[in-house]
Structure 1
């Protein structure tokens, strides 16, 4: 009979085991590349902000806080500000988001939940290709094709909803069939619809990916409890995909705020606050820069840089707010893990 002597067991309190991580060389290289890429992005963003701040310092010293409240744009005369173009930028982006959000959510839900497998890949490819169309193509389409066709809708909205100041068109009688139609062209409404079609594919792609990641167990549990497909989407997919909806919307909003060529081709620039979205005449910060940069004096160039800095800061604030909201959602929390 062989006797085996067992090692003595320490009867003291349990101590946590120390786990040492020894990543492979490929993992260390990949982690270093990711960290370097992230640091490079942050450095580039910081350099852009520093460059804009340096170039805009002359105009900001000259105008002071009046830069945010002045509507006119006459840098050589010492009167310039972005109040008008800032309001126009926000209104165009707001119209774009109002139109694009239901379009993107509906398309993403149809592709991920309703479409047949044989057509799903085709629909995904078409949506992704729409995001790759140049903005100048959207601008030309909006100017030559959409704008003449949208006049009737703008007149109808003005007729029945003109009691809302946003949809009022001063100086025009929508009930008069002989009134000129040019009052409804080159408006914030037309520009917003064109921008909406530009940002909807990007928003749809993000939302679709998040909807596809909704937990299968919760989907099957909803069906087991007797839910219909729409009931399952309403109680499982949409709550889970709230982070993707917010993230896609904010990404689209960032592009809508900075869109230049399409808006520049459609709007009729005005340097006054224009709160009536159906009326001809609008402006945006990016269109102002494209319109005035070629003929700007040194002070005018500095003023344009200040306008660009304002747009840059607006985009950063929107992205930070969206990021904080996304991380509190289920889909955002799971994607961070």
Structure 2
């Protein structure tokens, strides 16, 4: 062996202490955003069948959940609203007493330090289930922008700390930024779903949020999973229109896109660990096929390593507990 020259990489893996000293990527509680599904009505606490451990909650059950989030040290939640009634223009999205508006007030009154992010879209509120207004089977872009801006302003008035528009209409960031500024909310940041693919991984979310489209699909406004360069165009236009942060959705199948965006733009990036990713891990863990804790932590570390600053994940409460154990 004296005649063989090679690198001894294992020197830096020789003990737990050594490995900790040279560790490059870390996951912290402060990186986490937890998704909440709030529903109109009373005494509602329904577990989402395809998302074990995730619940649809009415306001009278929300306090216990929020208290737990705060106690675990998770800094932010994102709210997805489920109204009782829907209509063609998504009135519940921008109503002053809509479910997200009421949930925001509820949370901020009890925990003003907890960041409330409002998902700004129409699909949960329209009877057709699309993210914009429709004419026949065409999703209308420009007429939808006024409704989206009105929704964002209503959410900010209710106390939302961050507006997170997810509709993927062209110009939605510009319209919302203009609406917020004109209403006196120039200091409210926009966390844009700037790079959102038309993904098969969203199935469980549509069960949770009751937001499946009633005709067609969302491929005319969400991105083609085959496309990489399109992500640059989408991210750049949102940044130019006033986005303060960019969400990339989904995460696991798009780690290359997270890295691409990180390499080219210097604003905060959020990886959305979506419902299908969550459901697959949960199902495999319940069958004893994987170690849930190890797989989740490895997956989220991969998202951080790819360049994400924050991770929106339904695993957030479990991850916070696991990090505390460490």
Higher relative contact order (CA closer than 8 Å, sequence separation 6+): 1
Larger gyration radius, structure 1 or structure 2: 1
Q: TM-score range by the shorter chain?
A: under 0.3
Structure with the higher strand share, 1 or 2: 2
TM-score scaled to structure 2, two decimals?
0.24
TM-score by length of 1: 0.23
More helix by share: 1
